A and B are shown apart, each in its own frame.
Chain A
Amino acid sequence: MNPVLSVRGLAKRYGGRWSIGQQALREVGFDAHAGELVAIVGPNGAGKTTLLSIIAGILAPSAGEVRRAERGVGWAPQSPALYAKLSVAENLALFARLEQVADPDAAVARMLEHSGLRERAGERAGRLSGGNRQRLNVAIALIGDPPVLALDEPSASLDPAQRERLWEFVGALARAGRTIVFSTHNVAEAQRHADRLIVLAGGRILFDGAPAALLAQAGPGAGADLERALLDFLRARGEPAAEPERYPEGTP
């Protein structure tokens, strides 16, 4: 089966001409297929957002190649990117028209239905709860019907109930054949929802496989705790970000 998203030899370096540059990504490569839910995990500064930004076309890579499917990649940034003064339906309609969707009204109705925001269609986006704003954020990314969806920490700052509803929505999209690549700090969430885990650290891919495979690599000490397994995995590879923080004596 042909991948819908193919990343090859991707590198990204920030700054450099007049300042000391920072290498954010090195030789990153992977494929993603239709219906796959791929979680990108790793410590802070690992390059997760940079990788997703390049996949979504926000940033240009310094080297490497991203091959995307015909209708591109839907992009939902960590902070919802929407117009606070417009209603939910107006936001969707605007992006449907900008995406040159054949039937914008039908697309809006469909996305309202899929995102569970039909009841809030007339409400200003700025007045929505955090969860609903994130659902609208994802719905806008989907309005052009892209085969691949890139989500940057979609559940950050949501409460458990809002997270649950968001993952129901995202899970349904994957089951319908959409490829979803998302970054998260919440390893338990990745374990629960992702088919595949990509562990990124220091700008390199250290692991690419099913969550169960990472658990298996960690050995029996981690049990079913993927977070424990990830920390052991990173520590075994000498990743400083995986070391527990040491507080000075007397710190409460």
Chain B
Amino acid sequence: MKWLARKDLLVLARSRLLVALLVVYPVAIALLIGFAISRSPSRPRVAIVDETPPGETVRVGSQRVSVGQYARGLFSQVQPVTVATRAQAIERVKSAEVLAAVVIPADIAARVASATAQAEVEVIYNGDALEQSIVQSQIGSALAQANVGFSKQIQQAAAKVIELLLKGGDLGALGADQKLIALDQIPPLLQRVLAHQPPGPDRAALERVADFARFAAQNLSISKQVLSTVGQPIRVRSTLLAGRRTPLNSFAVVVAVTVSLMFLCVLLAAGGVALEREEGTLARLVRSPPAAPGTGTAGAGGALVSRAALLAEKALLAAGCAFAVAFAMLAGVGAFVALDWGRIGLWALALAFAALAFAALGLAIGALARELRAASLLAFLLSLPLALLALVPAGSVSRAFYDAIGAVSFVFPFKASLQALDAAVNSASPSLGASIAHLAVLTGVFGALARLGLRQLE
């Protein structure tokens, strides 16, 4: 097996263009998929026209809220492209430089402050049904987020005014120089005055004022909570059923590395077996088949390499090469994306099991396809859809179709490898142990299929 492995390495070393393609192509595909995942249009490019005068504020009682808060909130939800006029914004939308444009009108502060005319912003967009759908969902969401942020600012300003009324304080904002008495201090103050007041109409009137002040203090204190409830009636609390929340960037890295590992492993293993067949050397290596029942092959001598040893050699070589590339890729990307280097041993474990499972799949393809070009084509045709199927999210297709996808993904190693690597890198669920056990079973199954495929040499 050692000499066969050495031969394969020599053949690989002399096929530089092939090796370069085998490495560059999967890495390029993987990076593209990773890029597409991590740069999904969750932060679309949006042109923003802010027509409000600089420093414009909305007055809430004694408090002022800057209209710039709204623009800043919007900026944080999108990739903002600031433009000066509505016409420029329309040009940017038409040229597809931005997905949409948002115009914040000059009178927005006045409208918010008036409490009679509802303030509005204008959204300008273009494009086909898909773009329109993206705008409606993505921009709508971004504007809603900005609205929530802005209403929170106004709510906080209003809360401060209510607090001032209840607890008292500096009235400078209202134009008075003196300190305002707290509403909840009025009833005890009036009680002290009433103690010295003789019965009569004045005392009765004062008692009515004291009752009102007590009532106002009691009810105004709950108005802050009412404001909070009205500002955001329902708050969202997220519950992740299992595992740790995986950052999108880290998941994209895991997907990219798994795709690279898959392509390299499957192509190398499939190509390795198919090449032995194509060059006619397979028969030479593993000849001397077992005798049929009732026959004899006395003195035949053993095969140069057993079929199992030949498959093991091809699998280990493919897995080893792909492991090295994938590990280097993961470590390299780790320089740019925050990964937990303390889990490096688990990365290696997950990559090793995934590489072996992919290699076993490659062996089965190589053994069944019988010639190099057919094996390479089959490896591509099978691998890419498997990778994409494993990434289809729940709820995006019908239940029956999703179940079918799940079944297909279960019997091929991509999803299990993705889960193993995600668990190793991000502590995601299912656990690394479960995924590794799944991969080990798949390695055995595809290895057995490959062994079956090699039974017939001619």
Contacts and interface: CB of A to CB of B under 8 A. Distances in A.
A57 B11 contact: no
Contacts of A83: 7, 11, 279, 281
Given A67-B299, A69-B299, A59 B15 contact: no
A156 interface: no
A71 B292 contact: no
Interface string A83-108: 11110001000110111000000000
A60 B280 contact: no
B280 A81 contact: yes
21 contacts: A56-B287, A57-B288, A59-B458, A61-B291, A62-B295, A63-B294, A63-B295, A65-B296, A66-B300, A67-B296, A67-B298, A68-B301, A70-B301, A75-B283, A79-B280, A82-B281, A83-B279, A83-B281, A86-B11, A95-B304, A98-B305
A64 interface: yes
Contacts of B11: 83, 85-86
Given A66-B300, A75-B287, A86-B7, A61 B281 contact: no
A58 B279 contact: no
A24 to B, nearest CB: 11
B285 interface: yes
Contacts of A79: 280
Contacts of A71: 301
A99 B304 contact: yes
B4 A60 contact: no
A65 B10 contact: no
A73 B305 CA distance: 16
B179 interface: no
B284 A75 contact: yes
Contacts of A98: 3-4, 285, 304-305
A59 B289 contact: yes
Contacts of B3: 94, 97-98
A73 B302 CA distance: 11
B196 interface: no
A83 B280 CA distance: 9
Contacts of B287: 56-58, 75
**Interface secondary structure of A, over-half rule:** loop
Sort A-B residue pairs by CB-CB distance and give the 8 closest, nearest first: A72-B301, A81-B280, A57-B288, A65-B296, A98-B304, A57-B287, A68-B299, A60-B289
Contacts of B7: 83, 86, 90, 94
Interface in A132-161: 140
B200 interface: no
Contacts of B148: none
A60 B300 contact: no
A53 interface: yes
Given A56-B287, A94-B7, A98-B305, A61 B295 contact: yes
B193 interface: no
Given A57-B301, A62-B292, A86-B7, 12 more contacts: A57-B289, A61-B295, A63-B294, A64-B295, A65-B296, A65-B297, A70-B301, A73-B301, A75-B287, A79-B280, A95-B284, A98-B304
B290 interface: yes
A126 to B, nearest CB: 9
A77 interface: yes
B457 interface: yes
Interface string A165-179: 000000000000000
A57 B299 contact: no
B305 A90 contact: no
A59 B457 contact: yes
Interface of A: 53, 56-73, 75, 77, 79-86, 90, 94-95, 97-99, 140
B14 interface: yes
B373 to A, nearest CB: 15
Contacts of A140: 284
Nearest to A14: B458
A161 to B, nearest CB: 24
Contacts of B300: 57, 66, 68, 72-73
A80 B280 contact: yes
A64 B297 CA distance: 9
B299 A60 contact: no
A85 B457 contact: no
A75 B7 CA distance: 20
Contacts of A53: 458
Contacts of A77: 280, 283-284
Contacts of B285: 98
Nearest to B457: A58
Given A60-B290, A60-B291, A63-B292, A84 B279 contact: yes
B1 to A, nearest CB: 10
Contact of A70 (B284, B299, B457): B299
A81 B304 CA distance: 14
Contacts of A69: 299
Nearest to A65: B296
Given A68-B297, A70-B299, A86-B10, A81 B279 contact: yes
Interface string B54-84: 0000000000000000000000000000000
B10 A90 contact: yes
Contacts of B283: 58, 75, 77, 81
A82 B280 CA distance: 7
A81 B276 CA distance: 9
A85 B292 contact: no
